[in-house]
Structure 1
Amino acid sequence: MIKAYIRVSSESQNTVRQKKALKAAGCEVFYEEKVSGKNTERPELQRLLAELEEGDIVIVHEISRLSRSVKDLIDIVDRIKERGACLKSLGESWLDTTSDNPMNEFLLNIFGSLAQLERGLTLKRQREGIEIAKKEGKFKGRKLEVVEGGKKAEKAAQAIDWYKEGKSVRYITKTLSIGTGTLYRLLEREGLK
């Protein structure tokens, strides 16, 4: 059976492009999720790996949808092979384990390393850009979602009141379902931190 693994990093992204290409490639079963690829603890990926049967082919739109690190990629490929299944990528024609070709294994390691390097360089450039923007006073951090007049103004008011009453940060963030960073930025804005 031909199975597709589809992933985007956030809820705001959509999977239509991947799904269309994978359907055209003959995929019959789809494992789809909206979650970061920074580790392999992804529910749909784990379900796919658990449900693989001998002779199955897993197809991904591109290697970055499956993994961001070489170690995780190699582990995933090994788990697929252990089940007697194969892996193919639409975006990287060299990634095709349907035949026992040592060149595919070699290229998998090389290109997996290059993908990891590119990710690292991107993060480094991002950090450098943020540092420069901070020095110039242009970087304010992520936009604060809990703002006055906004949809979450009531949460903001409640968080401030509870903080003033001495409730713990953990209690406030868990009860109101807001992030710790969001709470601290809110308190900083209010002059409480």
Structure 2
Amino acid sequence: MTTGKTFAYIRVSSKEQNEARQVNTMQDLGVHERDIFTDKLSGKNTDRPQYQALKAVLREGDTVIFDSITRMSRNMNDIKAEYKYFIDNGISLQFVHEPMLNTHATAGVTKNEDVLQRAISDIILTLLSAFAEKERTDIRERQAEGIAAAKRKGKRLGHPTLTYYTLTLNQKELFNEQYKRWKGGKQTATRTMDNVGMKKTTFYKVVSEYESLIGGDFGH
């Protein structure tokens, strides 16, 4: 039997969030950059361009890796329906943070054992998908409360101008790491921009500032 290809799917909820950790995880697992599909959209449903594009290229015997079940969706019914879709179409699933939900070949497993395993997986899937949906509801409530509180205090909502000098320590560490991977030929400029969560104009401005500090020597 021919072994299928391995793909990865990554999702963050907004353009401001950074997917670099998930990307690095997938690359460490051996997934090629061209086989990683990324959406920067809410998990309220599965109507996401790259997710649907991934499903369109999948064939029986392929494998899809998710960082977590929540990257597939944050809607309980959608998660259960998508999970069943992949199984019914012969697509193996791997979840970095919920390996108990990984699907695999059942050769050598008796019919009764297979039924029991599926029953246990269904129970776990239902519980985790319910938690995923509740967490999304809680996040939305906290965001609404935060916005309302900021408005009451008269705070101006929005994002300050981004420069290398205004990055936090963690953001600088991430940028420095991604910059070295880019300059070392390990990834494209576009992937680097996505990983650090910057638009093209901002990215090259920050690069210029960074290089002026290090004298263009990205080895330090």
What's the TM-score, normalizing by structure 2?
0.57
Change (3 A) 1:131 1:63: same
Give the aligned residue type for 1:138. Answer: K
* Displacement of 1:41: 0.9
Which has more radius of gyration? 1
Q: Match for residue 76 of structure 2?
A: 70
User: Are 2:187 and 1:138 equivalent residues in the alignment?
Assistant: no
Q: 1:115 aligns with which of 110, 116, 132?
A: 132
Query: Does the CA-based 8 Å contact 1:10-1:34 persist in structure 2?
Result: yes
Query: RMSD of aligned C-alpha atoms?
Result: 2.4
Q: Match for residue 17 of structure 2?
A: 13
The answer to which of 7-16 and 82-91 deviates more is: 7-16
* Displacement of 1:128: 4.4
Give the aligned residue type for 1:113. Answer: A
The separation in 2 between residues aligned to 1:132 and 1:27, in whole angstroms, is 43
The separation in 1 between residues aligned to 2:62 and 2:154, in whole angstroms, is 49
Q: 2:122 aligns with which of 85, 105, 119?
A: 105
* Displacement of 1:63: 1.7
Higher helix share: 2
The separation in 2 between residues aligned to 1:141 and 1:66, in whole angstroms, is 34
**Deviations 1:51-102 (Å, cap 9, x if unpaired)?**
1111111111112211111111112112212221121110112221225522
Q: Match for residue 88 of structure 2?
A: 82
Change (3 A) 1:47 1:132: closer
Q: Match for residue 61 of structure 1?
A: 67
The separation in 2 between residues aligned to 1:18 and 1:125, in whole angstroms, is 24
The separation in 1 between residues aligned to 2:94 and 2:150, in whole angstroms, is 41
The separation in 1 between residues aligned to 2:86 and 2:23, in whole angstroms, is 21
The separation in 2 between residues aligned to 1:19 and 1:111, in whole angstroms, is 23
- Count of residues in Structure 1 that have an aligned counterpart in Structure 2: 143
**Deviations 1:38-59 (Å, cap 9, x if unpaired)?**
2211111111112111111111
The answer to which of 25-34 and 68-77 deviates more is: 25-34
Q: 2:100 aligns with which of 76, 79, 94?
A: 94
The separation in 2 between residues aligned to 1:95 and 1:131, in whole angstroms, is 39
**Deviations 1:9-50 (Å, cap 9, x if unpaired)?**
222333221111112223242112222222211111111112
What's the TM-score, normalizing by structure 1?
0.64
Query: Identity rate of aligned residues, in percent?
Result: 37
Give the aligned residue type for 1:109. Answer: T
Q: Match for residue 44 of structure 2?
A: 38
